[in-house]
Amino acid sequence: MFDRAFPPFRLDDEDAPEERASGGNGVLMAKFLEARTVLIFGGIDQKLAERVSAQLLYLDHVSHDPIKIFVNSPGGHVESGDTIHDLIEFIASPVAVIGTGWVASAGTHIFLGAAKERRFCLPNTRFLIHQPSGGAGGRATDIAIQAKEIVKMRERLARVISEKTGQPVERVREDIERDYWMTTDEAKEYGILGTVINNISEIKF
């Protein structure tokens, strides 16, 4: 039996998740669901992943009509981002992601869950990719195990970025060694972004 759970690995620039502004008023959120629209604003953690997963699964159960996800996030827990990324691919409903503000770290991982032709952003969005980090502590054996897990996670994320963007995995490994910020033009050239839009009518499924 483990006497300690490892702290969650993170993909962000903050020490802790930021307060999310997307909880909002229940009536307002219900209206967003009626419009088949999901909001991912703020730090990505288990609570947000649970809420977004429930919304995606519910909407997919109701019908297979398109779903829009708006993303504005500094990043957060890798595993929570994994959950949302995988569910975007898992459900039958086509999903478009729309970046706004910043799509950073685990937020970019979620963004890449959609097909490239369904990855949109507003004109002033910035993108960030980098490697995961984890707070190592405790016994030397625990620290060594966690270090190995970070290396494995880094390689997995590099391969996901490579697969989703078309960039060689060798380049991705090098790029995520440090914070790699991109403008909309740079993100489009890299293969992260499909289309910059100015109006919601430009979203195509």
Q: CA 181, 183, 188, 193 torsion: positive or negative?
A: positive
Burial class (CB in 10 A: 0-12, 13-18, 19+), 183: middle
Give CA separation, 29 vs 43, 103, 152, in Å: 18, 21, 37
Residue 130 annotated among the catalytic residues of the structure: yes
Question: Which member of 77, 85, 109, 130 is catalytic?
Answer: 130
Residue 133 annotated among the catalytic residues of the structure: no
Distance CA 43, CA 63 (A): 29
Question: Which member of 53, 73, 105, 109 is catalytic?
Answer: 105
Instruction: Pull the structure tokens for residue 182.
Output: 């991109």
Q: Which has the closest alpha carbon to 40: 126, 112, 110, 123?
A: 110
Q: CA 169, 88, 19, 146 torsion: positive or negative?
A: negative
Q: How many residues does the chain have?
A: 205
Catalytic residues: 105, 130
